[in-house]
Amino acid sequence: MEEINFEKIREDEFPATKRGPYLNAASLGLNPRCVVDSMKDFLEYGLQNGLASDFGERVYMFSDSVREKMARLINAETSEVAIARNTSDALSTFANGIRFKKGENVIANDMEFPANVYCWMGLERKGVTTKLVKNREGKVTADDIERSIDKNTRVVTISSVSFLNGFRAELEEIGRICKERDIYFVVDAIQQLGALDLDVRKCHIDMLASGAYKWLMVPDGVGFLFVDKNVLEELDVSKVGWWNVKNERTFFEVPGATYDLTFKDDARRFQESHPGIPGIYGLNASLDLISKIGIENIEKRILHLTDLLIDGVKDLGIEVVSPLEKEYRSGIILINPRDKKRAYDALVKNNIYASMRATGIRLSPHFYNNEKEMEGVIKALEEMEG
């Protein structure tokens, strides 16, 4: 296998790295040059030529191409993928599309980003209860979830990687539990996709949601959803527009009333309008870059960099809050210095970009970071601790 030259990719695609170590992909990923160029090319074409004459090719057909690439990333079929605005948009589509009965419940947990809790709590009006599994030392295991399931459980939902501490969920085991009990398994994957490999088939995932502005490195406003073809017909369409019906383009050809509310046969039935077009051009370029590098190589690179952070921080006597077991590791490391504010200020002083959290400082390197930057982080913390 050809060795990946991450330094060249960094130099060619990520000029922002010249400002200092950017370890904040879990908040907002750096946008590579290819993403920005692709979006600019689309806008420039419209500026110079207008888009109406090429709308079919540049929007309809291009959207399908992006869906195909995203499906390939998660081992799905193109027909199971639709463009969404962001993670919340997709999760709300699921929550309001599942045909709940009064008295049923949803299993979530107390380490979820609010987007994957509030959409389910909003179902209380339908008599649906949301049960939050309590974490144990920053982990929510498959066993914890299994113990919380009862005869009224309709959905289990979890982030594949926790935004709080980087805990990587046991997706395969949770998926197996849900499949055996005929429970929908819904995954928020925004902190995993673009950083770590994920296979929806292997994990028995029924529905998956993700934005693209973190590890997928695209400006905010575009994401996607996945719905397994075997459960597609079991969900109602909660948002109805002109794009999720079969004959969305008939009005161009037939005068008079041609309205026909027949939804498309695939996941596009959950996409009621055309996407933010510049965003899908950016997503296309990002997916091409990820495919060129290989998600396995990206995952290996990220875990290598987080290894360096963990070892260095532990040598300084600083607590690592994130679970350290191999199976629970991700691209997010949460550390807890004695004086968090002073430690964060030391990072800022050294042009190191991270996130301050209530429970510590969150570090999230991507493949565009390097070993020298990890050394710089440790040195900055060492000077502060000293």
Q: Which of 225, 256, 291 is the last residue of a domain?
A: 291
Answer yes or no: is 170 within a domain: yes
117 Cβ neighbours under 8 A, 6+ residues apart: 108, 130, 132
The reported pLDDT for the residue numbered 287 is 98
The reported pLDDT for the residue numbered 22 is 97
Answer yes or no: is 370 within a domain: yes
Structural domain boundaries, residue 91: 38-291
User: Which CATH number do you get for residue 353?
Assistant: 3.90.1150.10
174 and 314 inside one domain: no
Answer yes or no: is 353 within a domain: yes
- How does pLDDT run along the chain (386 residues), one tens digit per residue? 468 999 999 999 999 999 999 999 999 999 999 999 999 999 988 888 887 667 667 777 778 889 999 999 999 999 999 999 999 999 999 999 999 999 999 999 999 999 999 999 999 999 999 999 999 999 999 999 999 999 999 999 999 999 999 999 999 999 999 999 999 999 999 999 999 999 999 999 999 999 999 999 999 999 999 999 999 999 999 999 988 998 877 766 666 667 889 999 999 999 998 778 899 999 999 999 999 999 999 999 999 999 999 999 999 999 999 999 999 999 999 999 999 999 999 999 999 999 999 899 999 999 999 999 999 999 999 987 65
Q: Comparing C-alpha atoms, which of 369, 378, 375 is closest to residue 320?
A: 378
90-133 per-position pLDDT tens digit: 999 999 999 999 999 999 999 999 999 999 999 999 999 999 99
Question: Residue 29: helix, strand or coil by DSSP?
Answer: coil
301 and 278 inside one domain: no
185 and 330 inside one domain: no
The reported pLDDT for the residue numbered 253 is 65
Answer yes or no: is 263 within a domain: yes
Give yes or no for a contact between 35 and 42, defined as CB atoms under 8 angstroms apart: no
65 and 176 inside one domain: yes
Q: Which of 239, 261, 291 is the last residue of a domain?
A: 291
- Unique residue bearing structure tokens 């060249």: 8
The reported pLDDT for the residue numbered 100 is 97
The reported pLDDT for the residue numbered 59 is 74
Answer yes or no: is 124 within a domain: yes
275 and 309 inside one domain: no
Give yes or no for a contact between 272 and 82, defined as CB atoms under 8 angstroms apart: no
For 122-141, letters b (16+ CB in 10 Å) and e give: ebeeeebebbbbebeebbbb
Q: Comparing C-alpha atoms, which of 204, 207, 210 is closest to residue 181?
A: 204
283 and 321 inside one domain: no
Give yes or no for a contact between 28 and 190, defined as CB atoms under 8 angstroms apart: no
Give yes or no for a contact between 327 and 167, defined as CB atoms under 8 angstroms apart: no
Q: Comparing C-alpha atoms, which of 104, 166, 159, 102 is closest to residue 130?
A: 104
The reported pLDDT for the residue numbered 46 is 84
79 and 223 inside one domain: yes
287 and 372 inside one domain: no
Answer yes or no: is 31 within a domain: no
What is the dihedral sign for C-alpha 316, 320, 326, 331? Answer: negative
| Number of domains within the chain | 2
The reported pLDDT for the residue numbered 385 is 62
The reported pLDDT for the residue numbered 274 is 79
Q: Which of 262, 291, 320 is the last residue of a domain?
A: 291
The reported pLDDT for the residue numbered 347 is 95
What are the angstrom distances between the C-alpha of 168 and each of 158, 160, 324? 10, 6, 10
User: Which CATH number do you get for residue 169?
Assistant: 3.40.640.10
Answer yes or no: is 1 within a domain: no
Cα dihedral 371, 374, 378, 379, rounded to 10, equals: 70
Q: Is 221 left (phi over 0), alpha (psi -120 to 50) or beta?
A: left
129 and 251 inside one domain: yes
Chain center to CA of 236: 24
149 and 228 inside one domain: yes
What is the dihedral sign for C-alpha 310, 314, 319, 324? Answer: positive
333 and 376 inside one domain: yes
Q: What is the bridge-based pairing of β-strands 153-159 and 319-320?
A: unpaired
313 and 343 inside one domain: yes
Amino acid, single-letter form, for residue 383? E
